[in-house]
Amino acid sequence: MGKERVTVIDIARTAGVSKSTVSLVLQASPLVNEATRAKVNAVIRELGYVYNRGAANLRQSNAKSKIIGIVVNDLTNSFFAELAVGVDMVVQSAGYVQFLANTAESLDRQREVISSMREHGISGLILSPARGTEAADLKSLVASGIPVVNVVRQVAGAKVSSLVSDNHAGTREAVRHLAGLGHHRIAFLGGFPDTAVFHERLQGYRDALSDMDLAVHDELVISSAPSRAGGVAAIERALLLRERPTAAVCFNDAVAFGVCDGLRAHRLDPGEDFAVIGFDDVIEAQTAVPALTTVSVDPQGMGRRAAQLLLKQINAGRAEAEAIVSSVRLVVRQSCGAATDKRERLSLL
């Protein structure tokens, strides 16, 4: 079973005061003298207690929290909106409601929203960690017994469940596909180099080049923000190279859409003059012009699986960590269909 959560009684016993005194401190009552308040607050910090505002509000009715927290690192990326929809499908049918927050890659913001969610008595948390998140950042959650499922990004050493896609296999398959179409200079565009996801996808890219007996050129690996604007910036740099690439595997679909925008700004047609492959398969990939060839992760499906894993732990009353790597598949559409003669023409520009 998971560790028991710290209670007001635990704090009172450790501080040598009454339960009612602890309650008054938690309510910031002026009836408590400063010396006692300081002693109680020190014990609260030492024991890692989090004031459960939701439980306080509902205590009279003896109600149980039916709230699931979901915290993502970039809600401007439609991948996470689709993932949240998948989560909601499952938790809603189970009688829960989700609280959704965006950290915008800020560790401070992540701490704030998780603390706020804990105050409202969340039963569990689905987290796509902000860049730089370490196991220590999740330690208090683990100690409190709140089930946590990390999605998309793992945190090394964190004793929580994780659900990630097979990043290595995805980019490996994408590069092999492009090489099979006759491309020899294939770029890897986008993504933050300080994330595990970037390195896993980059390693798949490099391994595929090796598989196909193609040279690995460091100048063809161009990092950028994993966003549409980042994709524009990455392809701008790629097109400045003396020997331009003729195709690119992009860190995600958002980058791929930006790459297509950047190509059009240079009067190059994605899928005709330059082959583009994304990663995620968001809904927009199907309706984009040209339709985006991409590695399908099934964002909504990932959200559903994450929610099912979390509810399993909540219902079991313990948070046993599980690590799941979901399979991916390449979905071939129009954006990778560069014609041979136009590739040759591009290489001469």
CATH code of the domain in which 33 resides: 1.10.260.40
Return the pLDDT at 28: 73
Is 1 among the domain residues?
A: no
Return the pLDDT at 120: 85
Closest by CA position to 229, among listed 208, 210, 256: 256
Task: Tell me: do 158 and 285 sit in the same domain.
Answer: no
Cβ 105 vs Cβ 76: under 8 Å = no
Task: Tell me: do 343 and 217 sit in the same domain.
Answer: yes
Is 2 among the domain residues?
A: no
What would you report as the CA-atom Rg of the chain, rounded to the nearest whole angstrom?
A: 24
Is 131 among the domain residues?
A: yes
Task: Tell me: do 67 and 111 sit in the same domain.
Answer: yes
Mean pLDDT of 230-238: 98
Range name among 143-152, 210-219, 318-327 with the lowest pLDDT average = 318-327
Tally the C-alpha atoms within 13 A of residue 107's C-alpha that lie toward its C-beta: 8
Q: How far is CA 1 from CA 6, 141, 144, 145, in A?
A: 15, 15, 12, 9
Is 24 among the domain residues?
A: yes
Task: Tell me: do 262 and 342 sit in the same domain.
Answer: yes
Task: Tell me: do 33 and 82 sit in the same domain.
Answer: no
Mean pLDDT of 58-75: 74
Return the pLDDT at 46: 86
Task: Tell me: do 203 and 275 sit in the same domain.
Answer: yes
Tell me, what DSSP letter sits at residue 271?
Answer: T
Tell me, what DSSP letter sits at residue 63?
Answer: -
Task: Tell me: do 337 and 226 sit in the same domain.
Answer: yes
Is 31 among the domain residues?
A: yes
Return the pLDDT at 3: 54
In the chain, how many domains are there?
A: 3
Q: Is 52 helix (H, G, I), strand (E, B) or coil?
A: coil
The residue behind tokens 């193609």 is 214
Range name among 29-33, 67-71, 272-276 with the lowest pLDDT average = 29-33
Return the pLDDT at 6: 82
The 124-127 sheet, strands edge to edge = 97-102, 67-72, 124-127, 148-151, 161-165, 323-326
Pairing of strands 329-331, 186-189: unpaired
Mean pLDDT of 197-205: 98
Judged on CB neighbours under 10 Å (0-12, 13-18, 19+), 341 is exposed
Task: Tell me: do 187 and 245 sit in the same domain.
Answer: yes
Across the chain, mean pLDDT equals 90
Q: Which residues contact 79 (CB under 8 A, 6 or more apart)?
A: 252, 253, 254, 280, 282, 297, 299
Return the pLDDT at 256: 98
**Over the stretch 166-189, which tens digit does the pLDDT of each residue have?**
999 999 999 999 999 999 999 999
**Length of the chain, in residues:** 349
Report residue 250 as tokens.
């992009």
Task: Tell me: do 159 and 194 sit in the same domain.
Answer: no
Mean pLDDT of 48-68: 61
Return the pLDDT at 56: 56
**Over the stretch 273-323, which tens digit does the pLDDT of each residue have?**
999 999 999 999 999 999 999 999 999 999 999 999 999 999 888 768 899
What is the rounded (10 degree) CA torsion for 250, 251, 256, 261? -100
CATH number at residue 119: 3.40.50.2300
Its domain, for residue 228, covers 167-297+331-348
Closest by CA position to 95, among listed 57, 68, 131: 68
Q: Is 44 helix (H, G, I), strand (E, B) or coil?
A: helix
**Over the stretch 82-138, which tens digit does the pLDDT of each residue have?**
999 999 999 999 999 999 999 999 999 999 999 889 888 899 999 999 999 999 999
Q: Which residues contact 11 (CB under 8 A, 6 or more apart)?
A: 22, 40, 43, 44, 47, 49
Pairing of strands 293-296, 124-127: unpaired
Return the pLDDT at 343: 43
Task: Tell me: do 124 and 44 sit in the same domain.
Answer: no
Task: Tell me: do 191 and 282 sit in the same domain.
Answer: yes
Task: Tell me: do 149 and 180 sit in the same domain.
Answer: no
